[in-house]
Amino acid sequence: MTSGPATPPPIVPPTVRVLLPLPLADAYDYLPIPGNTLESGTIVSVPFGPRQMIGVVWGVGSGGVPTAKLKSITAPVDLPALPDASRAFVDWVANYTVTPPGAVLKMTFGSMKLLKPKKNDVFSLPQPKPDFHQPKLSEDQRKAADILIEKCGGQRSVVREKNSASLTTDHRPLTFSVTLLDGVTGSGKTEVFCEAIAECLRQGKQALVLLPEIAMTAALIDRFAARFGVQPTQWHSELGEKQRRINWHAIMRGEAKFIVGARSALFLAYPDLGLIVVDEEHEAAYKQEEGVIYHGRDMAVVRAHLGQIPVILSSATPSLETMFNVQHKKYDHVVLHERFGKASMPKIELVDLRKYKMTAQNFISPPLFEALQKTIADKQQAMLFLNRRGYAPLTLCRACGHRLQCPNCTSWMIEHKSSHRLQCHHCDYSMKLPDKCPTCSAEGRFAACGPGVERVAEEIKTRLPNARFAIMASDTLDGPKAAQDLVNQMANQELDLLIGTQIMAKGYHFPRLTLVGVVDADLGLAGGDPRAAERTFQLLQQVAGRSGRAEDAGRVLLQTTAPDHPVMKALLKGDRDAFMAAELHEREAYHLPPAWRLASITVSGADARQVIALADQLAAAAPQDQKLRVLGPAPAPFAMLRGRYRHRLLIQAPRNINLSLCVRQWLALVKTPRNLRILVDIDPYSFL
Ligand code: ADP
Ligand code: ZN
């Protein structure tokens, strides 16, 4: 036997990381398919436990597990690879929000059902035409549009007209930029950002418009269709299964060029995204409060940065966060100063409720009532705004004062006349009005306290019996179609009056609407939310903006018991910038956002003692960094929600501190029992 060359050591194939759309701590290592190099981003099927799962190649394996123990990737899946920017986005969001990356990837996949196309699915779509119907812009609008077009890599209109031959060839490469498009309601912001979208489409790139609420989409979709000749591709939870699947694939294949969606649309895989527009950027509805907790506006800026593309934030009442970034020159600022055409801003008046004697059943003061009568007599339209669903926010026993409370939440039961029941607006609990008081057994002594929109409607019915009105609230409408029906009825003058909550405050354009009455302007100011004043200001300004959007002058009456409050004074004077400056000053003084960073950690569970123990343990393990401030633990304002007790810690940090990292390291120091939950909210917007 001759001794041959020594047997070479077995070649160890480099392993591959595969991220699965599951809330696991990290990606898993797999063996590659022999002879098949899989690029990062390739969508693959892999064995996972007893089943096959779809995941994404996420780089080279960690090498932490011996090769012999690893399983092989089964096969690549017939889908386009996830673009680099999409993968970087998943990692960034996971890191920032302190969530597992797989939970973020799940949002990119939408749902697993979507991934497999059906036989008859058609993904090619009619393409939007950038110049299908170009409105003639005012000078102010033209200037703003030109700046946005330049940011999208296009040329200003004058230059473009001169070189019309080179129109589609001469584009500058895109660079990341954030621009606040700031203009009063009705100034034409939508028309202006459509010019940027048109430029993006001219270049063959994808444009994404984010909207805070689905209720708003129907009206805007029609406007976009009129502007670009075809309906945009939609992405939100109201889509049917088939449409969702088709849209998901069309977006991922780059077939869909113009996409309008809810915040979740941000996570889809765009092969060639060229622009993001965040409409109504100040809206709190952009904050996702469940699962991966993130702010859609802020993540839009991150996504734009990772893709090196422009993002436009549009609002009539920009958030303090955005104004702060404008002040610090991080964001550009483009302003539209006036309403378009003949419309002027409505006149805002305060009605000091303390001056009028009103019964416990009446919520419309004499001045507001007179204005309503006059408006309807003049064949104009009105809107009554009250940000409270149902009939009455509180029901109490007149004999003993007992208040009907939700058994699962720190919250009153809200009476709903339409369903003849009392409901908790925080959990699903509902009940019939009891015959007897549970405390004193008195019969038939319950009294409704305070108004909801249903009760205001009842008052209208008795005091203005001939008025044609409708209620517009999330629980009285059955989806975006129903909202659109109401909007059409208003437009066709089949209604004199809309009575509604904040869903009616946004975006709609009713030319004959000349009176807005705010039933309780003080409503949003109570409670422990540091943004209460800012939000109230924004909301009331938005509501006011519904009035007088065409030629007829508009009027706004705000009913308040605090006419000297800075919010009311600012609304009265129309002095937004002074109000914002004062508000920012206050936030700085109290170390609150946007001047400082803020995070909240909420411990919850069914057993109060266990919850308190874990919250105390967390407090004891708090980071010792002198620059951080830890507040609490203390019971959350809703100390019980859906049957779980809640204790909370708040962490304040200067802006140059990586708060997400601090929180991650901090949480690693304590062990969470299985029956308790820790919820991390970086940049919290909800303080319930
Ligand atoms: P905003 O988004 O700032 O509230 P919109 O874009 O909705 O304002 O414009 C308000 C109204 O004025 C809309 O009905 C819009 O179609 C109209 N409008 C604005 N600019 C123009 C324009 N240049 N030409 C024609 N109509 C316009
Ligand atoms: Zn409840």
CB 110 within 8 A of CB 244: yes
Residue 685's contacts (CB-CB under 8 Å, 6 or more residues apart) are 284, 287, 289, 295, 531
Q: Is 23 in the pocket of ligand 1 (CB under 6 A)?
A: no
Of 134, 141, 509, the residue with max ligand 1 atoms within 8 A of its CB, to mutate for a pocket test, comes to 509
Whole-number percent of the chain with pLDDT over 70: 96
Q: How far is the CA of 407 from the centre of ligand 2 (A)?
A: 6
- Ligand in closest contact with the CA of 411: 2
Query: Does residue 423 surpass a pLDDT of 80?
Result: yes
DSSP string, 91-153: HHHHHHHT--HHHHHHHHHS-HHHHS--TT-----PPP-TTTTPPPPPHHHHHHHHHHHHHTT
Query: Does residue 12 surpass a pLDDT of 60?
Result: no
- Ligand in closest contact with the CA of 412: 2
Global confidence as pTM: 0.92
Structure confidence at residue 8 (pLDDT): 62
Whole-number percent of the chain with pLDDT over 90: 77
Q: How far is the CA of 250 from the centre of ligand 1 (A)?
A: 30
Per-residue confidence at 167, pLDDT binned at 50, 70, 90?
A: very low
Of 136, 190, 551, the residue with max ligand 1 atoms within 8 A of its CB, to mutate for a pocket test, comes to 190
Query: In the 8-state DSSP scheme, what is residue 525?
Result: G
Q: How far is the CA of 571 from the centre of ligand 2 (A)?
A: 34
Of 281, 340, 510, the residue with max ligand 1 atoms within 8 A of its CB, to mutate for a pocket test, comes to 340
What is the C-alpha to C-alpha distance for residues 84 and 92, in angstroms, rounded to an integer?
12
Mean pLDDT value of segment 464-488: 88
Residue 273 belongs to what H/E stretch? strand 273-279
Length of the chain: 688
Structure confidence at residue 385 (pLDDT): 96
Q: Is 141 in the pocket of ligand 1 (CB under 6 A)?
A: yes
What is the distance between the terminal CA atoms of the chain, rounded to a whole angstrom? 82
The burial class, CB within 10 Å (0-12 / 13-18 / 19+), for 156 is middle
452 phi, psi to nearest 5 deg = -120, 175
pLDDT tens-place string over residues 493-509: 999 999 999 888 776 77
Give the pairing type, strands 394-397 and 446-449: antiparallel
Per-residue confidence at 166, pLDDT binned at 50, 70, 90?
A: very low
Least confident of 160-174, 186-200, 348-362, 599-613: 160-174
pLDDT tens-place string over residues 539-577: 999 899 888 877 788 999 999 999 999 999 999 998 999
Crossing angle for the helix pair 84-97 and 659-667, to the nearest 10 degrees: 60
Structure confidence at residue 25 (pLDDT): 86
Q: Is 30 in the pocket of ligand 1 (CB under 6 A)?
A: no
Q: Using CA positions, which residue lies closest to atom 20 of ligand 1?
A: 188
Per-residue confidence at 478, pLDDT binned at 50, 70, 90?
A: confident
Mean pLDDT value of segment 232-256: 95
Structure confidence at residue 368 (pLDDT): 98
**Residues by chain with Cβ below 5 Å of ion ligand 2:** 406, 408-409, 424, 426-427, 429
Mean pLDDT value of segment 612-626: 95
Mean pLDDT value of segment 637-661: 95
Q: How far is the CA of 186 from the centre of ligand 1 (A)?
A: 6
**What is the SS3 assignment for 347?**
strand
Structure confidence at residue 300 (pLDDT): 98
Rg (CA), the chain: 28
Q: Is 190 in the pocket of ligand 1 (CB under 6 A)?
A: yes
What is the C-alpha to C-alpha distance for residues 600 and 648, in angstroms, rounded to an integer?
7
What is the C-alpha to C-alpha distance for residues 56 and 652, in angstroms, rounded to an integer?
36
Q: Using CA positions, which residue lies closest to atom 5 of ligand 1?
A: 188
Query: Does residue 318 surpass a pLDDT of 80?
Result: yes
The burial class, CB within 10 Å (0-12 / 13-18 / 19+), for 158 is exposed
- Looking at the CA of residue 192, tell me the nearest atom of ligand 1: 6
Q: Is 340 in the pocket of ligand 1 (CB under 6 A)?
A: yes
Structure-block tokens of residue 445? 């002594």
Per-residue confidence at 1, pLDDT binned at 50, 70, 90?
A: very low
Q: Which residue has the higher pLDDT, 166 or 105?
A: 105
The burial class, CB within 10 Å (0-12 / 13-18 / 19+), for 39 is exposed
Q: Is 509 in the pocket of ligand 1 (CB under 6 A)?
A: yes
pLDDT tens-place string over residues 377-418: 999 999 999 999 999 999 999 999 999 999 999 999 999 987
- Looking at the CA of residue 509, tell me the nearest atom of ligand 1: 14
| Domains observed in the chain | 16-91 (3.40.1440.60), 139-336 (3.40.50.300), 347-392+450-585 (3.40.50.300), 597-682 (3.30.70.600)
pLDDT tens-place string over residues 88-147: 999 999 999 999 999 999 999 998 889 999 999 999 899 999 999 999 999 999 999 999
Q: How far is the CA of 530 from the centre of ligand 2 (A)?
A: 24
Residue 193's contacts (CB-CB under 8 Å, 6 or more residues apart) are 148, 181, 209, 277, 279, 312, 314
Mean pLDDT value of segment 150-173: 68
pLDDT tens-place string over residues 429-464: 999 999 999 999 999 899 999 999 999 999 999 999
Structure confidence at residue 173 (pLDDT): 67
Query: Does residue 648 surpass a pLDDT of 60?
Result: yes
CB 427 within 8 A of CB 421: no
Structure confidence at residue 547 (pLDDT): 84
Q: How far is the CA of 449 from the centre of ligand 2 (A)?
A: 19
